[in-house]
Structure 1
Amino acid sequence: RFNDSGQLVQCNGSLPNGDKGRRKSRFALCRRNKANGVKPSTVHTSCTPQAAKAISNKEQHSISYTLSRAQTVVVEYTHDSNTDMFQIGRSTENPIDFVVTDTMPGGQSHTDGQTIQSTISRFACRIICQRNPPYSARIYAAGFDSSKNIFLGEKAAKWRMQDGQMDALTTNGVLVMHPRHGFSQDSKPGLWREISVCGNVFTLRETRSAQQRGKMVDSESNELVDGSLIDLCGATLLWRTAEGLALTPTVKHLEALRQELNAGRPQCPVGFNTLAFPSLRRKDTLDEKQPWAYMRCGHVHGYHGWGGRRDPVVEAECQERECPMCRARGPYVPLWLGCEAGFYVDAEPPTHAFVPCGHVCSEKTTAYWSQIPLPHGTHAFHAACPFCIQPLNGEAGAVRLIFQSPLD
Structure 2
Amino acid sequence: MPQCQTSGEQDPLADGEPRAELIKYGELVILGYNGGLPQGDKGRRRSKFVLYRRSKANGVAKSKHYVVKTPQTSQAVLDAKQHSISYTLNRNQAVIVEYQEDPTSDLFQIGRSSESPIDFVVMDTVPGNRIQDPGKAAAQSTISRFSCRILCSREEPEHTARVFAAGFDTSRNIFLGEKATKWETEHQAVDGLTTNGVLIMHPQISFSGADDPNSVTQEPGVWREVSVGGGIYGLRESRSAPTKGRPIPSETSELIDGTLIDICGATLLWRSSAGLARSPTNRELEILVDNLNAGRPQCPVGLNTLVVPRKNSQNVATSENQPYVYLNCGHVQGRHEWGKVGDRSNSKTCPICMCNSSAAKLIMGIEPAFYVDSSEPDYCFVPCGHMANAKTVKYWSSIPIPCGTSGFQSACPFCATPLLGTPGYTKLIFQDKCD
* TM-score higher than 0.5: yes
**Is the 8 Å Cα contact of residues 43 and 73 (structure 1) preserved in structure 2?**
yes
Q: Which residue of 1 aligns with 2:424?
A: 397
Aligned with 1:121 (options 128, 144, 154): 144
Aligned with 1:301 (options 321, 325, 333): 333
Distance (Å, rounded) in 2 between the aligned partners of 1:146 and 1:10: 29
- SS of alignment partner, residue 284 of structure 2: helix
Aligned with 1:326 (options 353, 356, 372): 353
For each residue in 1:327-356, what CA deviation from the matched residue of structure 2 results, as whole angstroms up to 9, or x when unmatched?
A: 221211110000101100010001000000
- SS of alignment partner, residue 367 of structure 1: helix
2:264 is equivalent to residue 230 of structure 1? no
AA of the residue aligned to 2:140: Q
2:316 is equivalent to residue 289 of structure 1? no
**Is the 8 Å Cα contact of residues 278 and 287 (structure 1) preserved in structure 2?**
no
**Is the 8 Å Cα contact of residues 159 and 166 (structure 1) preserved in structure 2?**
yes
Distance (Å, rounded) in 2 between the aligned partners of 1:51 and 1:220: 37
* Deviation of the 1:49 alpha carbon: 9.3
For each residue in 1:217-247, what CA deviation from the matched residue of structure 2 results, as whole angstroms up to 9, or x when unmatched?
A: 0100010000000000000000000000001
* Deviation of the 1:73 alpha carbon: 1.0
User: Structure 2 regions of 5+ residues with no counterpart?
Assistant: 1-22, 210-216
* Deviation of the 1:109 alpha carbon: 4.3
Aligned with 1:184 (options 199, 208, 215): 208
Change over 3 Å in CA distance of 1:279–1:249 after alignment to 2: same
The farther-off stretch of 214-223 and 112-121 is 112-121
* Deviation of the 1:407 alpha carbon: 5.1
Q: Which residue of 2 aligns with 1:256?
A: 287
AA of the residue aligned to 2:45: R
For each residue in 1:78-118, what CA deviation from the matched residue of structure 2 results, as whole angstroms up to 9, or x when unmatched?
A: 11111000000000000000000001110124332226510
AA of the residue aligned to 1:159: W
Q: Which residue of 2 aligns with 1:209?
A: 240
Q: Which residue of 2 aligns with 1:89?
A: 111
Q: Which residue of 2 aligns with 1:143?
A: 167
Q: Which residue of 1 aligns with 2:18?
A: none
- SS of alignment partner, residue 28 of structure 1: strand
| TM-score computed with the length of structure 2 as normaliser | 0.89
Aligned with 1:167 (options 191, 195, 202): 191
For each residue in 1:272-301, what CA deviation from the matched residue of structure 2 results, as whole angstroms up to 9, or x when unmatched?
A: 111011232656413320110100100000
Q: Which residue of 2 aligns with 1:312?
A: none
**Is the 8 Å Cα contact of residues 76 and 98 (structure 2) preserved in structure 1?**
yes
Matches within 5 A, 1:3-402: 3-47=25-69, 52-114=74-136, 116-133=139-156, 134-185=158-209, 186-280=217-311, 282=313, 284-285=315-316, 286-308=318-340, 319-402=346-429
| TM-score computed with the length of structure 1 as normaliser | 0.95
AA of the residue aligned to 2:159: Y
Distance (Å, rounded) in 1 between the aligned partners of 2:382 and 2:167: 37
AA of the residue aligned to 1:192: W
The percentage of aligned residue pairs carrying the same residue is: 53
AA of the residue aligned to 1:246: A
- SS of alignment partner, residue 299 of structure 2: coil
The farther-off stretch of 397-406 and 343-352 is 397-406
AA of the residue aligned to 1:205: R
For each residue in 1:97-145, what CA deviation from the matched residue of structure 2 results, as whole angstroms up to 9, or x when unmatched?
A: 0000001110124332226510000000000000112110000000000
Q: Which residue of 1 aligns with 2:5?
A: none
For each residue in 1:239-286, what CA deviation from the matched residue of structure 2 results, as whole angstroms up to 9, or x when unmatched?
A: 000000001000100110001000111111111111011232656413
* Deviation of the 1:51 alpha carbon: 7.1
Change over 3 Å in CA distance of 1:196–1:370 after alignment to 2: same
AA of the residue aligned to 2:322: Q
Distance (Å, rounded) in 2 between the aligned partners of 1:318 and 1:251: 35
For each residue in 1:173-232, what CA deviation from the matched residue of structure 2 results, as whole angstroms up to 9, or x when unmatched?
A: 000000011113431000000000000000000111000000000100010000000000
- SS of alignment partner, residue 276 of structure 2: helix
* Deviation of the 1:377 alpha carbon: 2.2
* Deviation of the 1:48 alpha carbon: 7.6
* Deviation of the 1:379 alpha carbon: 2.6
**Is the 8 Å Cα contact of residues 362 and 386 (structure 2) preserved in structure 1?**
yes
**Is the 8 Å Cα contact of residues 22 and 98 (structure 1) preserved in structure 2?**
yes
- Please report the RMSD computed on the Cα atoms of aligned residues, expressed in angstroms: 1.8
Aligned residue pairs: how many? 401
Change over 3 Å in CA distance of 1:48–1:386 after alignment to 2: closer
Change over 3 Å in CA distance of 1:278–1:48 after alignment to 2: closer
